[in-house]
Every structure is written in C-alpha cells, then in structure tokens.
A and B are shown apart, each in its own frame.
Chain A
C-alpha cells in the first residue's frame, strides 16, 4: 500500500494528466476530473516536471515558508505526492 517517494525521486504528472484551466484558476486535468490548485499544492505540482527531485521540492518550499519545520514540510509533500500517485495523477 505504501509507496513513499525518496529524496532522489523525480515526480512528474502521470500519463494523460496535464495543466489546464485559466491563469487565474489553474487546474491539473486528469481523465475524469480536475484539481483546482492554490497555495502549497500548486507550488508542489508546478515543480513535478520529472527533473526536480523530492529534495529539490522540499528545499524550495522550506525557502518559501521560512520558520516552518523542514521535516514537517517533507512529510506533507511526501503524503501529498503519495495521495496523487494513488489517484494516478502523479508518478515518481
């Protein structure tokens, strides 16, 4: 059941998933639905380009949210990616 990303994992949008919507309301489209993104969720998915690693993403969020516990950020990002991986929206 658990399939946690590692620091070196390079998350990307899964097959058939892509950005859509408008500049004001960007969404990630998947076969039978969409996620409307804002805040950290948007910042995470924007970096899921198949190149940047989990560590890169966590570092970026840690810089954006100064004063937050980096370990907590890593746990949140990891959980977010796992949830999207199980929905077949993200792969890593």
Chain B
C-alpha cells in the first residue's frame, strides 16, 4: 500500500479571465466540455478526507469562475479539510469574499504579475493589476491567512526589490517568489522568460536580504530555478507519493503537467474511487518506487531525496520519461539544459526583442494565472520540542 496523499489540488475550471504567458494549464484544448458537478466534487472531498488528505487547494483556471465555489468550500470544510483558494482575484467582490469566508475558507493565495501596472497587465493579457491591488487591501482587512504569489522571470527580475516593496505594503502573512517552471505555456515562451545567471544570482541576494528584513512579520519563500540548479527538484515530493491533482473534468493526475506524458491512462473520479486511483491505477504506480529508474539515478545516493527529478521535464527535454531529469548535473542529457542556458546568457539583444513575440495562450479554454505551476513538498525534520514532523507544501516547485 502506498502512503496516503496529504494534499489534493482541485482544478475546478480552466476558464480564466487572464492569459498569462507562463500559464500551467494544458496547451492542447481538450474536447471535454463538461466540468465536474458540485455533487461530484463534494463526494471527492469526502473521499479525500477519509484517505487522510489534510488540505485541498482550489485552483483553476480561475476558481471564482465556478458559481458554486461557496458550496464547494463548505463541502470541503465539512469534511474537515483545510481550504486554500488560489486565485487571480478577478471576479471577487467584498460581498463574495464574505460568503467565501462564511463557507469556511481558511486561506487565500492571490497572484501578482508585477509591481508595475503596465508590465503586470501585459503578462496577464488583461487590465487587472489595479483591481488586484484593491483586492489585496480588502482581503487584508479580514482575519484570514493571506499569501501573495509572484512569478518571476527574465522580464521582471531586474526590479525584484521594487516588487518586494510593493508586496510588503499589501501586508500579507506569506510571500512566494516563484521562478517560472518550464512546462505548458511557459515552455513555449521559455526564450522570453528564462532568466540570465546574473539575474538569478542577484535575485538570491535580494531575497536573502528581504527575508532578514521581514523575519517574524512576513514569511518569504522562494525557490531556485531548476535550470540553474545542480540537482533536480523532488517534483511534487515524488510521483504519487504525497499529492494528487484532479482536473476540471475529473481526471486524476500526480501533477499539473503529467498529461503530456505519452502512453499513460489517467483515470477519472467519474468512474473510479479516489482511493482506487491512488492505490491501484497503473498511472499512479508508474513512477512510484525505484524500479523504473535508469542509471545514473538507479545507483545514486540522492535517489531517495529527489526521485530522479521531474518525469515530465525528462520527457519534455530528453524525450524519455524514464530518463534522469536533464537539469541534474549528473544527467547524460544535461548538455541540453546547458545549451539552453548558454543561449540566454550569450545573446542580450535577443532577450530584449523576444518579449514582443511571446505566444499568448489563446485557447477557448481560457488559461489561468500561473499560481500553481507544479507542486512540490518537502518533509522537514524538526528537532526542537520533540519529534514533530513538518510537512510543507508549496505552490511553486523547488
């Protein structure tokens, strides 16, 4: 038996008023049009709680696009799940916020694209920045945990300090600085978004200084972009180990991106129980354990920490979902990442002009804000105060 999942990511809809260039929703518009019903989701939340799931992360698309969001929150809350709303805020009024809180919402994560209105609206493909700023102040007046999420990339990293100061005056409890992860639309737009090495190094210093300044008031989390890392991220805490994601039509996946992997059939909660899908389905067993691993992962001391990295990235970059994640410095295919990184760091004129040529998400399924590119989770031992185990889930990968 696999250990129980700890968190469920519920993609309630792919409809979204934003068109962010790094959206994590699928590029291929699915023909499926019929989203899960209120009753479907409520049954799924009850099943998840019974399996030991603690948190449900309500996302999209834009989850506010679901007229039954209040009912879904109430359903999750009555199953004792901790409810987190991951939102662009577009569509949220004072009155609707009150009904969400009434329904039992525990936490709001609001996305920002930039501190500068013009740049933010360009990234979002919609004039939303001014409204989001008003919303942040409105949310802060409520007694609810409030996180601001900011996606960073080559086009905004040079004014990271300005963005941090903008966020600071919104008075969130938490800030997530999320480097763009290269899946979906972000992969399409990678040549525009991938930062330079100098930007990454400067941003790490800016973030460390901000963490000092904000300590005790605001928790600031950030993650190194994995193209510049030596070892891969333990994506989602390992395939089918800690988290599961349900798409708007009921398909259950181990992460946001796994739908790109060929030859895997992802089962639906319309046909199967969540427990069966987690424990028994071939999709969830595919990359559990270590038997699928190739060298150098198979004999690597780090295999139990990072599980060979991300299966989707291995497929997207190396064409083989069983390969070592090419961002690993030990990977036979690391040269692919080196070549991409070298291009970005060599050609400065290209970086400037590319901004105008991005591929904007234009599908009939309106893609979402970036807020949840890929989930990962770490297990942090805590020494003080007994054998207390910390689980920390992030909305951005590490």
Contact = CB atoms under 8 A, between A and B. Distances in A.
Name the prevailing secondary structure of the A interface residues: mixed
Given A30-B145, A88-B173, A21 B387 contact: no
Contacts of A18: 82, 106
A35 B382 contact: yes
Contacts of B147: 31-32
A79 B144 contact: no
A32 B212 contact: no
Interface of A: 1, 3, 14-18, 20-21, 27, 29-42, 44, 76-77, 79-80, 83, 85-88
Given A15-B145, A20-B80, A88-B219, A33 B393 contact: yes
Contacts of A1: 212, 215-216
Contacts of B132: none
B386 A31 contact: no
A77 B385 CA distance: 7
A17 B146 CA distance: 11
Contacts of B106: 16, 18, 29, 31
Given A14-B173, A16-B107, A18-B106, A32 B394 contact: yes
A76 B384 contact: yes
Name the prevailing secondary structure of the B interface residues: strand
A82 to B, nearest CB: 8
Interface in B149-186: 173-174
B173, B218, B395 pick with most chain A CB within 10 angstroms: B173
B144 A38 contact: no
Interface of B: 6, 54-55, 80, 82, 84, 106-107, 109, 143-147, 173-174, 212, 215-216, 218-219, 377, 382, 384-395
B389 A88 contact: no
A27 B392 CA distance: 13
B390 A31 contact: no
A85 B147 CA distance: 16
Contact of A86 (B6, B146, B216, B382): B216
Given A29-B82, A39-B387, 7 more contacts: A32-B392, A33-B55, A33-B393, A35-B389, A37-B386, A41-B386, A86-B216
Given A16-B144, A44-B385, A33 B392 contact: yes
A28 B146 CA distance: 17
Contacts of B219: 86-88
